[in-house]
Amino acid sequence: MSNFIITIYKKFNFFNFLGWFGNIILSIGVIPQVIQTWQTHDVSSFNWSFLLMWAFGVLFTFIYIVEGDIKKGERQYPLWLNYFVNIIATSYLVFAKIVYGV
């Protein structure tokens, strides 16, 4: 049993754990705003500058990460998860601002 625990411990990477944990928190963090917007259709407090900078910033950073990972032959899946979820969420919030912000 102790050899099994030692093997698991050696494979454990604290920084990978931090990356996954941090990016899961960031991915989940946008969901309450999406749910609230979906339910209330209230987008009056959304600032266009913020939404557009956030949307393009997330999109461009995701492209940068994917391109870099492809060149290096590795995948930073925690970052991919975070940026993919944020691209979808931000796209919805921009859509909601257009539709409900009239």
pLDDT tens, 67-91? 999 999 988 888 999 999 999 999 9
Handedness of CA 44, 81, 83, 63 (dihedral sign): negative
For residues 37 and 43, is the Cβ–Cβ distance under 8 A? yes
Set out the domains of the chain in order of their start, with CATH numbers. Answer: 2-100 (1.20.1280.290)
CA 97 – CA 26 distance, rounded (Å): 22
> What pLDDT tens digit does each residue of the chain (102 aa) get?
567 666 656 666 888 788 888 888 988 999 999 999 999 999 999 999 999 999 999 999 999 999 999 999 988 888 999 999 999 999 999 999 999 987
Full-prediction pTM beyond 0.85?
no
- E strands along the chain, which residues? none
